[in-house]
Amino acid sequence: MRTTLDLSIPLELTIALGPDLLLMVGAMALLLWAAWRPDGPAHQRAVATASMGLSVVTAGVTWWYLFRGFTAEPGPIAVDNFRWMADMVILIGTTFAIALARDDNDRQGIGAAETHVLILLASSGMMLLAAARDLMIVFLAIELMSIAVYALAGLNRRSARSAEGALKYFLLGAFSSAFLLYGIALIYGATGTTSLPLIAERMLSIRAVASPLMLIGLALLIVGFGFKVAAVPFHMWAPDVYDGAPSAITAYMAATVKAAAFASFLRVWLEAFPAAYESWHTALAALAITTMIVGNAIGLAQRNLKRLLAYSSIGHAGYLLVAVAPASMQGASAMLFYLFVYTLATFGAFAVIVAMTRPGRGTVMIDELSGLWSAKPWLAAAMAVLMLALLGFPIFGGAGFLAKWYVLQAALSARAPQTALVVTLVLTSVVSAGYYLYVLVVMFMRPPQADAPAIPPTPLLTRVVLAVTVGAILVLGVYPNWVQRVAAKGWPRVEEASVIELNRSLTFQR
């Protein structure tokens, strides 16, 4: 049974924002509790447990919204299956991040219980970002997300690397927000609105598409979103921030923040600017190609496991841009499936890093994995599945292979096949094998280091995260299609025939 909401009625707008408001209000209540008592390991773990409970409850409510079939007339908030599925990916990442942070904080001596509340507040901004159908709401949601993540990046105040990374992230994040806001202002000047559906309608006027204000505004939006998804050349902050932040927060930034930014990126481009496809497609394609090449090429030189995964994350941002470039429904569903698999694989890989991290250290070198198959075979086997999934290898990493396959299909099925993007994706995936398989070689084919300290016992929640992520990747490799089918339903869009006719008119005029 489907329920259509009228977003002009305050009560029904509140209903449409139900999961978002639940997470926000719950996080504020937990913030009071976190600040009420002195910091300490026991209090940190208690707040973490409550935060995970709130995240799971919110995910349950979101699941109910998904299968209840809520829809709405065009308004400032999207009410469709793509939003609910994006929210599920965000909430899964939120739960995993809190679970890993609960275990890792004890080892790193971080006793601030507010850590977990900041993750919840950042996630509430991400959920709002995935739902936004107005550029001003997009900007406010990005700021709500970013301010909390800036604080999380510098959480380990005793680490100089953490402080350096957080400062870089804050300064460059503020700079990118200025680009984004200026781009929104120019688009408003060209169309007289910030609503995505209304922008799409007014773009069907030839004058609006060809307006210099519109073209500059689109360029500035690409810069703003490019920073948030760590696309080259807007990626320079990512390696230092990912290396300096606590491992659980690095996983959260690499997977969940990226998922929310890409969900909004695609919605903005698909709903507001299909009529300007020829204007922005070339720039986006160039961004994707550059990101895939640079991320994977520099990843080959990395021997710090967190920095390797940082450059891997940059490469995957390029793959996801390939799904955005066709501006099609098939690309949207392929992107969502890719984000789901990538989130699972990233959190699983960082669960291994948390398990291998010695007290007082914030990172793991790849050589420290030498002989892991002999010392902890279950940990090595799990890491092998996760690396193969990130590589897109069809055996054991089948979910990752299917995720890339769906992206390739979407690119080749577009009304203008994205041949250059497809070729670059395939070739750079081959290059990425150089560092993903190197991790496997170290674990399975090298003897343990003679002077290596003993691997600490793996905490319970870290083991749970690792088991769930590996199990889900193996299952999705066999049963992948339901994520795409659910996400593709109920997406409001401009009629493609109108867009094609407009592009023909523009070509004729030129």
Place of tokens 């691997």: 455
Burial class (CB in 10 A: 0-12, 13-18, 19+), 67: exposed
Residue 132 near residue 194 (C-beta atoms within 8 A): no
Q: What are phi and psi of 5, to 5 degrees?
A: -95, 145
Burial class (CB in 10 A: 0-12, 13-18, 19+), 506: middle
pLDDT tens digits along 173-208: 888 889 999 999 999 988 888 988 888 888 776 566
Running DSSP on this structure, what letter comes out for residue 328? Answer: S
Choose among 173, 72, 197, 179: nearest CA to 125. Answer: 173
Running DSSP on this structure, what letter comes out for residue 275? Answer: G
Positions of the chain with pLDDT under 50 = 490, 492-510
pTM value > 0.85: yes
Q: Which residues contact 468 (CB under 8 A, 6 or more apart)?
A: 96
Residue 356 near residue 364 (C-beta atoms within 8 A): yes
Helix (H) or strand (E) holding 5: strand 3-5
Tokens of 364: 């793991």
Running DSSP on this structure, what letter comes out for residue 132? Answer: B
Choose among 244, 242, 314, 292: nearest CA to 411. Answer: 292
Query: CA-CA distance, 211 to 266, in Å (whole number)?
Result: 22
Looking at residue 160, what is its pLDDT? 75
Residue 300 near residue 306 (C-beta atoms within 8 A): no
Looking at residue 487, what is its pLDDT? 55
Query: CA-CA distance, 386 to 449, in Å (whole number)?
Result: 23
Looking at residue 15, what is its pLDDT? 87
Residue 332 near residue 322 (C-beta atoms within 8 A): no
Burial class (CB in 10 A: 0-12, 13-18, 19+), 55: buried
Looking at residue 190, what is its pLDDT? 86
pLDDT tens digits along 6-56: 787 888 888 889 899 999 999 999 999 888 887 778 888 899 999 999 999
Helix (H) or strand (E) holding 4: strand 3-5
Looking at residue 490, what is its pLDDT? 46
String of DSSP letters for 240-267 = HHHHHS-HHHHHIIIIIIHHHHHHHHHH
Query: CA-CA distance, 208 to 211, in Å (whole number)?
Result: 5
